[in-house]
Structure 1
Amino acid sequence: MNDHGFEQIFPLGETNDAYAQYFTGQSYNAPLTDGAVPVANISFEPGCRNNWHIHHGTNGGGDQILMCTAGSGWYQADGEEPVSMVAGTVIRVPAGTKHWHGAKSDSWFSHVAFITPGDGVSNEWLEPLADDEYRRLPASTDDGASA
């Protein structure tokens, strides 16, 4: 358990200052591996979420894998319904998919994230998720495990 009372199997990490401009709220980044496929544990305080963004890549690259390890959060692809994430949920985000992910309003959320290697792998940060859209999502105590 960390100083915030959030229990998880991976370290919380340092405040995610390098990417803070792309988040609403406070997130933390704990790199787990480096090399050809860097893997990180990203943790979100309650209500924290990242901006809409797109991972680009070709020849197998650019897919994002999100594996929820603790807490409760949301993933949403543009034009689709939000997906509730709890420990054990795994999401594959195909390259080129506009999406966002983050904590539910009343829960910490942690996921291990990585991008598949390939050609032309990059990340395009877009606009924040509108506050009124986020507020319409149920809190973890309201929805059980799904939206």
Structure 2
Amino acid sequence: NRQVQQLQQENEGLKQSRDAGHRAMENTEAEREQFRAQLKEKSQEIMRLTAAVGEKEAEARTLEESVENLQSALEMFHHEREKEIQSRLSKSRAEMNLLRDQIEDGEIALDNERAAQAQLREEHQRTLQHKQKLIDVLEDNTQQLLQAMEQ
């Protein structure tokens, strides 16, 4: 009788562990949904950054055209103005490069996050399967013990 109680307690503990595993699976699903939302945000951020790069490229082209116009129209003012424009071009290019780097970093982070999520799901599934096997074995042992006690 004491063994039966002990097995029943172990069985209850494993069931609670299984239930906790199921709740963790549900939490993992919620995390996946959150991850999907983050992916959507990152995608929107990448599109925004890509648009910003396009704007910066257009700005750089406009500035280069301004340099050409100033060279022909304002020879005396040319030197100082060119320095200012070149500075702005350098800054715009640096910002463009920074935006490109941010896009690449975002894509790498998304890939890493996807891989980590996949690995987490696999580990969680293996753990649930192992716990289910333990519960099945414990239930079989309990049944055998109960049958033996009835005989």
What TM-score do the two structures reach when normalised by structure 1? 0.16
Of structures 1 and 2, the larger Rg is shown by 2
What TM-score do the two structures reach when normalised by structure 2? 0.15
Larger proportion of strand: 1
